[in-house]
Structure 1
Amino acid sequence: MHRQLAFSAPPAIETDMIIANLLVELFVEELPPKALQKLGDAFAGVLREQLAAQGLAAADAPLIAYASPRRLATHVAGVLAQAPDKAVSQKLMPVSVGLTADGQPTPALLKKLAALGAGAAAMESLARVHDGKAELLYYESTARGATLAAGLQKALDEAIAKLPIPKVMRYQLEDGWSSVHFVRPAHGLVALHGAHVVPVGALGLTAGRSTHGHRFEAVQDPIVLRDADSYAAQLKDEGAVIASFDERRAEIALQLQAAADAVGGGVRAIDDAALLDEVTALVERPKVLTCQFEQEFLAVPQECLILTMKANQKYFPLLGAEGKLTHQFLIVSNIAPADARAVIEGNERVVRPRLADAKFFFDQDRKKTLVSRVPQLAKVVYHNQLGTQGERVERVRAIAKGIAGQLFAALSVRHRIDGTQDAEVVQDYLMTCVDNAALLAKTDLVTDMVGEFPELQGVMGAYYAVNDGLPDDVAMAIEDHYKPRFAGDSLPRHNVGLVVALADKLETLVGMFGIGNLPTGERDPFALRRHALGVIRMLVEKDLPLELPALLAAAVPAFGDKIADPTAALADFIYERLAGSLREQGFAAQEVDAVLALRPARLSLVAQQLAAVRAFAQLPEAPALAAANKRITNILKKAGNGVDPHVNTELLREQAEQDLYAQMQTIVPDADLQFASGDYTTSLQTLAALRAPVDAFFDDVMVNAEELALRLNRLGLLKSLHDAMNRVADLSRLAA
């Protein structure tokens, strides 16, 4: 049970204390572990920000944020007992309104001054300022700097109000009548400026200098803090608490490494930053202990055992040198008894039923084949407008079949099967694998194991596929079709998995866009942004010879009349994601805009196009050609869509247009050949030789000639030039 802390009357801050370090602590019941670090950082950050806004601390004052399961605290260095006074200038009214002709104050001015707490004597503090339109009266005064008591009270209220609390609790105070809202019931407040208590309050509490340490292992309770700077040391020495989140985390990591080293054999604790953060938020005095379970459980897929130990028990599994799970694991205890056997045995006893459940689920699931589970998907609703998972599977199969036909034919796949390399046999085999994988990819959703651990979808499907005797290509595709699951995740390992993964993501994207279920600013419940980036990564990083518009168009028929055609909006969405991804990779926005303005169908070629544009931009001819290209674009836009790129040489009357045409006949064919071979950089560099004739053309030739035939011919020449120069990118986007 927590009890309300009893505080004696706080001593007043001495008037001769000008500056000292400040410590503020909220002592509360156990805070939500996944939010603890964020709560601690926010509490400290807003507190300093608000003190700085009132002139009581520097905006960059050294700051220490403390966060443990039962406290949020902050230490701010160099805080003033009172902020400096500051000059204040307040605009009153125009001189013509505030003063009479002989310079005496009008009733309106006297009323305004009275409202500000100043009388007629304040006339000496008035200033006249001309703002360019009229002469105005300003009242010049000095505002008394905020005291720390008042300033900290405001800062504390603001820090509490701005905490990123996942879910607010409402609880009663000890008077039985009042209630407050906070993340957890608060039982103590400390506010020390140096060694002096700052008289502030919050959440029904009055600040003092006492706090509490570890529930069971504190040497002293309560802990009476000497001053702001002794907080962390006193909590550690007297309270058996490491108050700093970062220090506690580092201590746990150190102990985990030491415990793994003590086990020997090259074992290591599983690397999981999120688990380490969560455990850090659960303990105040960490003690790592080594436990074990029966080796018979290792027959269960290690992903299941690892997940149940991490998610349910917050344990750290130990992995062998090859990444295989061992029968030992590490726990982080919140107590450090002299004899830890009881703690170890208790945790071993607790984990055993969890592992037994996983084994039971695994054994039961293997009694049914994945194929036999397909009919169950017809009973699982996917979306009320898009039908069941069974219907979804059929759509994925249809989309995957179309992708596989394009991909395997384009790649001229060679895959050894039973000693043969016959292309048709290989293609038939892979097509069959794709169809089987697409059919079975979602069947593990109706297994007991995935019902208990949804995070294992795909992973368990692969295990069950192997158990059913299906080819490795099918098993791997079932596991990989969810990839990439997150930023930086690996991609499907083989082409069968790539095809099914593409089909699965395209089915989701086309379906959701087809019913108008689009992501908003912060909401994306179907992870459409992630799916779009997954499609982009697979097309680009696997260098797939597939065209995005064709992929989108081919996916639409699988939905029948359930959706409206979303390909235009969806294409925009995917190109926007691609643009953002490329900018994050360091490509200049201008270069990205130039390439993506052409909506390249083959995303796998975009990197080469960007490299070509970057090389072109370094050429001395680039600025002039980009500007000319922009001018040509505007001319053609005004001329409308009917401009014919053909040129009648007999209508080339000016020497400049004849020279441009002649140069194009020499240069453009070479650039086209280089473009066709994929040498985009050389193609653009070849076209750079047109700078001089292009400049001369615009200097000497009137494009919009009065004679219609002449005008159309010149527009045709410019259209031919525009088409030739903008095959790699829209060069006009490079113009300043």
Structure 2
Amino acid sequence: MSNHKNLLVELFVEELPPKSLKKLGEAFAADLAKGLRAQGLASEQSAVTPFASPRRLAVHVSGVLARAADRAVSVKLMPVSVGLAADGKPTPALLKKLAAVGADESALPRVTRRMDGKAELLFLEGTAEGVPLAQGLQQALDEALASLPIPKVMQYQLADGWTSVHFVRPAHGLVALHGAEVVPVTALGLEAGRQTRGHRFEAQMDPVVLLDADHYARQLEEQGGVIAGFAARHGELLRQLQVAAAKEGLTPIDDAELLDEVTALVERPNVLLCQFEPDFLAVPQECLILTMKANQKYFPLLDAEGRLTNKFLVVSNIRPADASRVIGGNERVVRPRLADAKFFFDQDRRKTLASRVDGLAKVVYHAKLGTMGERVERVRKIATEIARAIGGDVLAKQADQAALLAKADLLTDMVGEFPELQGIMGGYYARHDGLAEDIAFAIEDHYKPRFAGDALPRNATGLAVALADKLETLAGLFGIGQVPTGDKDPFALRRHALGLIRMLIEREMPLELAHLVSIAFAAFPAGHGQAQAELSYFLRERLVGYLREAGYQTQDVEAVVEARPARWAEFPKRLDAVRAFKALPEAQPLAAANKRVGNILKKSEDKVAAVTDATLFVEPAERALADALESVALRSEAAFAAGDYTGSLQALAALKAPVDAFFDTVMVNAEDPRLRANRLGLLARLHALMNRVADLSRLAA
């Protein structure tokens, strides 16, 4: 066979788990290509194309060699002083080492000497033969299969009835083609060939005999009725969904996970339009959408205002000439699902949310943290304090009512069937109970933000309860030592922390973090573990990550974080001020001076007070700095008090010249202890003023 050809490897299996298919296909392709490259059979320029359908994993790799090129190898032997005698002849030690690496005296001409670090060593130079494709592919295939991210391994027997195989699903076929020629490899008890199988019902040929590696996708589609590529099938499915929806003037629900899952369930999508009785639209649309998506993998259709309609799209794996039976079958199947949702909704509304609250005392929240009823009481305490701080007694009363009812929908039939609807159903039931819209929104929103990029609560009541809910979770679990470690975070505490940070900053809430952490722990019994410092540090780490993700420079973030603003809502304004300050020509010299001042103060044996005695200024430069400090402090402090952090920092530019003159002519550590203390006090005043907005020493280059 010619040296350079494209390679196709396919493993034909029983139906693969749909939620894992995309990841399995990508991993199989990437790992197999990586193994080929490592052995010199493929290059970095080789294009790798993954294929993954419900019954196959495959990969096409371009530019694969029939045999890898020979390569020079150099084996380190020993120091020259050990391997060669004074006359340059080999020592017994060298001959013994050569024998150990499979050589003898005839290899001495290939022994070279060269420096390796500070020592001169002996090396045996040689050539390693390139691995043939059959051998190299076998190794790459074995390694790729062994490293697949399989969610759950199956064990099954081969046809001999004795040999057990462990894999994600039973495998029934293996293809390995280098160009048009079969590569003799094996996997999972199968020998490679050129035959594969197409669609169970719609293949034009069975089996499909592949001409060569490059005809794989085309033959499978034309002869086998299968779109083998996950991306190609995904694109075709999306196209059909949009076309079918557009014909009705509607829009399919936007759900990337559902799209991926359905792509993994069908070999060749066929989108069909179905409908259900309009009466079911009286049920909250979230319930209907969820039951159609989760249970049936249907795509609900929305109108221009985003409201659910009684039409939906199904994705069939077959293309009958008359689709009416497929459509009718799906319409019959969805009806009981929607009827269940309507039944749950009707039953739940027979009891008020308030009447369900007592039942939460029988629901265990956590073995060490008590019942859900106890959790509700803690959230109420925290929410009331937060609401009082941002809106007074009226808001505190609303937050207390919302927090009391926020978890009651956990005991409803609808949430029991669809836990994803917790909060959402509480909002619907609150409205049915005649509660104010403000309370209903707060109940619905108190889990928000549920994920990165999710919307925040819509009103102050919701913000208070959502903050309280997250703070209670964080304080509770930190108090019993359930702290995230590495990539393990079973209680999603990082997500809770990020949600808390987003609310404080993006809603510009006038709350101090230390106070929030304090009231969160105060809501627990006296015996609860006190981990305020650990939680504060954890939140600070998450804050740094959030600000970096928002596009702020690491140096700027560290400078502002180090200043420890009590109110985290100030961070964006402070960061913008730092960015503007850095653009000034005086910024770098002042940052360097600030760092120097900080180091001097740290080295002082006595605690330095930021006070000075004007009668002790003897050098003109220290008097000038003190005068400049008085003048600048007035402007900088006034701007700071008004929240004008940019103005506060920019006022410091006037200090550059007097600070430079001070360090040029004044000896801080004077022999006279009174002069030394006074100069240190002057520097302490300077340091305090310069670091109100941010720790400027962090900006020093």
Residue 622 of structure 2 is matched in structure 1 by 657
Check if 1:647 corresponds to 2:612. yes
**Aligned-partner residue type, residue 178 of structure 2:** H
Give the superposition deviation at 1:507.
0.8
> Per the alignment, in what secondary structure is the counterpart of residue 47 of structure 1?
helix
Give the superposition deviation at 1:102.
3.3
Residue 636 of structure 1 is matched in structure 2 by 601
Residue 90 of structure 2 is matched in structure 1 by 105
> Per the alignment, in what secondary structure is the counterpart of residue 27 of structure 1?
strand
Check if 1:519 corresponds to 2:504. no
**Equivalent in 103, 114, 118 of residue 129 of structure 1:** 114
Q: CA RMSD in A?
A: 1.2
CA distance in 1, matches of 2:698, 2:396: 43
**Equivalent in 26, 35, 38 of residue 41 of structure 1:** 26
Check if 1:340 corresponds to 2:323. yes
Give the superposition deviation at 1:118.
2.3
Give the superposition deviation at 1:131.
3.2
Give the superposition deviation at 1:565.
2.4
Check if 1:253 corresponds to 2:229. no
**Aligned-partner residue type, residue 435 of structure 2:** L
Residue 304 of structure 1 is matched in structure 2 by 287
Alignment check: 8 A CA contact 2:385 2:396 kept: no
CA distance in 2, matches of 1:534, 1:129: 60
Q: Deviations over 1:431-478 (max 9, x none)?
A: 332111110000000111000000000000011111111111111100
Residue 184 of structure 2 is matched in structure 1 by 199
CA distance in 2, matches of 1:321, 1:686: 53
Check if 1:228 corresponds to 2:203. no
Q: Normalized against structure 1, the TM-score is what?
A: 0.94
**Equivalent in 103, 128, 132 of residue 143 of structure 1:** 128
Instruction: Report percent identity of matched pairs.
Output: 66
Check if 1:551 corresponds to 2:516. yes
**Equivalent in 484, 490, 503 of residue 468 of structure 2:** 503
Give the superposition deviation at 1:562.
4.0
Residue 157 of structure 1 is matched in structure 2 by 142
Q: Deviations over 1:35-86 (max 9, x none)?
A: 1111111111111111111111112311111000000000000101011111
Residue 578 of structure 2 is matched in structure 1 by 613
> Per the alignment, in what secondary structure is the counterpart of residue 339 of structure 1?
coil
Report which stretch shifted further, 106-115 or 52-61.
106-115
CA distance in 2, matches of 1:60, 1:498: 53
**Aligned-partner residue type, residue 635 of structure 1:** I
> Per the alignment, in what secondary structure is the counterpart of residue 223 of structure 2?
helix
**Equivalent in 623, 628, 637 of residue 588 of structure 2:** 623
**Aligned-partner residue type, residue 262 of structure 2:** V
Residue 274 of structure 1 is matched in structure 2 by 257
Give the superposition deviation at 1:110.
2.4
**Aligned-partner residue type, residue 395 of structure 1:** R
Check if 1:383 corresponds to 2:383. no
**Aligned-partner residue type, residue 137 of structure 2:** L
Q: Deviations over 1:163-213 (max 9, x none)?
A: 111111111111111112111111111100000011111111111111000
CA distance in 2, matches of 1:117, 1:550: 73
CA distance in 2, matches of 1:80, 1:399: 67
> Per the alignment, in what secondary structure is the counterpart of residue 559 of structure 1?
coil
Give the superposition deviation at 1:133.
4.1
Give the superposition deviation at 1:704.
1.4
Report which stretch shifted further, 587-596 or 58-67.
58-67
Residue 594 of structure 1 is matched in structure 2 by 559
Residue 414 of structure 1 is matched in structure 2 by none
Q: Deviations over 1:340-378 (max 9, x none)?
A: 111111111111111111111111111100010011000
> Per the alignment, in what secondary structure is the counterpart of residue 272 of structure 2?
strand
CA distance in 2, matches of 1:547, 1:120: 79
Q: Normalized against structure 2, the TM-score is what?
A: 0.98
Give the superposition deviation at 1:221.
0.8
Alignment check: 8 A CA contact 1:385 1:562 kept: no
CA distance in 2, matches of 1:546, 1:698: 40
CA distance in 2, matches of 1:362, 1:164: 40
CA distance in 2, matches of 1:94, 1:521: 44
Alignment check: 8 A CA contact 1:380 1:389 kept: yes
Give the superposition deviation at 1:402.
0.6
Question: When the two structures are aligned, how many residues end up with a matched partner?
Answer: 701
Report which stretch shifted further, 558-567 or 85-94.
558-567
Alignment check: 8 A CA contact 1:49 1:59 kept: no
**Aligned-partner residue type, residue 50 of structure 1:** G
Report which stretch shifted further, 598-607 or 638-647.
638-647
**Equivalent in 16, 19, 25 of residue 10 of structure 2:** 25
Q: Deviations over 1:651-670 (max 9, x none)?
A: 11111111101111111111
CA distance in 2, matches of 1:439, 1:133: 74
Instruction: Point out where structure 2 has 5 or more consecutive residues left out of the alignment.
Output: none
Residue 533 of structure 1 is matched in structure 2 by 498
CA distance in 2, matches of 1:259, 1:679: 55
Alignment check: 8 A CA contact 1:47 1:156 kept: yes
Q: Structure 1 residues 602 and 132, CA, compared in 2 at 3 Å: closer, same or farther?
A: closer
Alignment check: 8 A CA contact 1:597 1:730 kept: yes
Residue 66 of structure 1 is matched in structure 2 by 51
Check if 1:691 corresponds to 2:656. yes
**Equivalent in 70, 73, 77 of residue 88 of structure 1:** 73
Alignment check: 8 A CA contact 1:48 1:59 kept: no
Check if 1:677 corresponds to 2:642. yes
**Equivalent in 441, 459, 465 of residue 430 of structure 2:** 465
Check if 1:572 corresponds to 2:537. yes
Instruction: Point out where structure 1 has 5 or more consecutive residues left out of the alignment.
Output: 1-13, 410-426
Superposed structure 1 runs of 4+ greater than 6 Å apart: none
CA distance in 2, matches of 1:608, 1:96: 68
> Per the alignment, in what secondary structure is the counterpart of residue 77 of structure 1?
strand
Q: Structure 1 residues 562 and 389, CA, compared in 2 at 3 Å: closer, same or farther?
A: farther
Give the superposition deviation at 1:105.
2.8
CA distance in 2, matches of 1:567, 1:692: 44
Give the superposition deviation at 1:132.
5.6
CA distance in 1, matches of 2:570, 2:83: 72
Give the superposition deviation at 1:624.
1.1
Alignment check: 8 A CA contact 2:292 2:298 kept: yes
Check if 1:180 corresponds to 2:145. no
Report which stretch shifted further, 172-181 or 725-734.
172-181
CA distance in 1, matches of 2:88, 2:178: 50
CA distance in 1, matches of 2:605, 2:286: 62
Residue 313 of structure 2 is matched in structure 1 by 330
**Equivalent in 305, 308, 319 of residue 302 of structure 2:** 319
Give the superposition deviation at 1:119.
2.4
CA distance in 1, matches of 2:117, 2:389: 72
Residue 419 of structure 2 is matched in structure 1 by 454
CA distance in 1, matches of 2:118, 2:453: 60
Alignment check: 8 A CA contact 2:591 2:697 kept: yes
**Aligned-partner residue type, residue 72 of structure 2:** A
CA distance in 1, matches of 2:34, 2:219: 27
Alignment check: 8 A CA contact 1:289 1:333 kept: yes
Q: Deviations over 1:218-266 (max 9, x none)?
A: 111111100000000100011000001011011111111111122x2x2
Report which stretch shifted further, 108-117 or 369-378.
108-117
Report which stretch shifted further, 658-667 or 280-289.
658-667
CA distance in 2, matches of 1:624, 1:547: 33
**Equivalent in 207, 220, 226 of residue 241 of structure 1:** 226
The 5 Å alignment of 1:416-431 reads 428=394, 430-431=395-396
**Aligned-partner residue type, residue 18 of structure 2:** P
CA distance in 2, matches of 1:21, 1:269: 39
> Per the alignment, in what secondary structure is the counterpart of residue 323 of structure 1?
coil
Residue 370 of structure 1 is matched in structure 2 by 353
Report which stretch shifted further, 600-609 or 100-109.
100-109
Report which stretch shifted further, 26-35 or 699-708.
699-708
